[in-house]
């Protein structure tokens, strides 16, 4: 059984086409191939109409379910979705963005190509990939971030951030309780743990379409992402004491000022 987690934060304007396409496509695969799929939408801290939209789709398609969280970012939502799915009889667990930048056909391509690997990640930079409608500045930021990540963690991956990844259940079971980064460094943290526990992860070229409606700040978010991966690197190095001391000092100051 295949489980696909879709994190959704205020996605009322973009999630309907995604659920329509994914629900229909994977129901057809169940009829044709016998591939049972559960699409688990994890609504996280949404204040718009996302919940009602997803609820209606869960009635329309038997393979769509959802949980509604009051707190948490994208990484937190994926972790929560994975934990929920580990209780089911799923052999493969993955996640995909709610905007359908990755089509159901492209996600299914990951499933068909995972082979004997512990996981497979979609790549917009690997030879054979097709990227549509992406602006030059986004490509530059993506490349710069990848250079930073590869330098810090000695990864061979050309694209750690593409929002479509799939893993075997045993891989998720092993790393789920060790994921420390639930925001901007989540994908890097996940892949770092796979490397740490010697799981082989395949990078696979994908077809990816940049979608309108992104809520990502083009200046602040890249800075926070860079800070997140640097923090992750320090936490997994002999210099962890620096981060630990900083966190304790920050917590003390916040307590003094009654902010926590």
User: Mean pLDDT by 10-residue block, N- to C-terminus, for the chain (260 residues)?
Assistant: 96 97 98 96 94 97 96 89 89 96 98 98 96 83 91 94 96 94 85 96 96 68 83 81 63 48
Helix, strand, or coil (residue 94):
strand
CA–chain centroid gap for 153, Å, is 19
- What is the pTM for the complete model shown? 0.88
* Phi, psi torsion values for 235, nearest 5 degrees: -65, -25
Domains of the chain with bracketed CATH: 2-212 (3.90.550.10)
Interatomic CA distance for residues 81 and 166, integer angstroms: 13
Interatomic CA distance for residues 41 and 100, integer angstroms: 13
User: How far, CA to CA in Å, does 17 sit from each of 23, 34, 57, 74, 97?
Assistant: 10, 24, 11, 20, 12
By the 8 A CB rule, do 181 and 87 touch? Answer: no
Within the chain, strands assigned E span: 2-8, 37-44, 64-69, 92-96, 119-123, 130-132, 164-168, 201-205, 207-209
What pLDDT score was predicted for residue 247? 60
What pLDDT score was predicted for residue 225? 84
Within 64-206, strands assigned E span: 64-69, 92-96, 119-123, 130-132, 164-168, 201-205
Helix, strand, or coil (residue 64):
strand
Half-sphere exposure of 15 toward its Cβ, with a 13 Å CA cutoff? Answer: 29
User: How far, CA to CA in Å, does 172 sit from each of 46, 132, 164, 200, 221?
Assistant: 26, 31, 15, 13, 27
Torsion angle, alpha carbons of 54, 182, 226, 197, to 10: -120
Question: Taking Cα atoms as reference points, which of 74, 114, 73, 76 lies closest to residue 93?
Answer: 114
């Amino acid at each position: 059984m295949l489980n696909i987690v879709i994190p959704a934060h205020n996605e009322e304007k973009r999630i309907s086409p995604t659920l329509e396409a994914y629900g229909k496509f994977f129901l057809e695969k169940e009829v044709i191939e016998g591939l049972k799929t559960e699409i688990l939408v994890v609504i996280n801290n949404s204040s718009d109409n996302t919940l009602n939209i997803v609820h209606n789709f869960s009635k329309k398609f038997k393979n769509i379910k959802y949980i509604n969280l009051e707190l948490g970012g994208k990484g937190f939502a994926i972790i929560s979705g994975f934990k929920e799915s580990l209780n089911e009889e799923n052999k493969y667990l993955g996640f995909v963005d709610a905007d359908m930048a990755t089509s159901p056909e492209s996600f299914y391509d990951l499933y068909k190509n995972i082979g004997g690997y512990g996981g497979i990640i979609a790549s917009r930079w690997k030879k054979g990939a097709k990227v549509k409608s992406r602006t030059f500045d986004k490509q530059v930021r993506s490349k710069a971030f990848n250079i930073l990540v590869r330098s810090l963690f000695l990864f061979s991956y050309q694209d750690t951030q593409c929002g479509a990844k799939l893993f075997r259940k045993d891989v998720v079971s092993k790393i789920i309780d060790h994921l420390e980064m639930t925001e901007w460094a989540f994908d890097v943290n996940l892949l770092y743990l796979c490397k740490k526990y010697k799981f082989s992860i395949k990078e696979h070229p994908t077809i990816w379409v940049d979608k309108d409606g992104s809520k990502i700040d083009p200046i602040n978010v890249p800075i926070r992402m860079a800070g997140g991966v640097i923090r992750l690197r320090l936490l997994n190095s002999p210099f962890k004491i620096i981060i630990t001391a900083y966190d304790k000092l920050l917590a003390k100051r916040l307590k003094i000022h009654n902010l926590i």
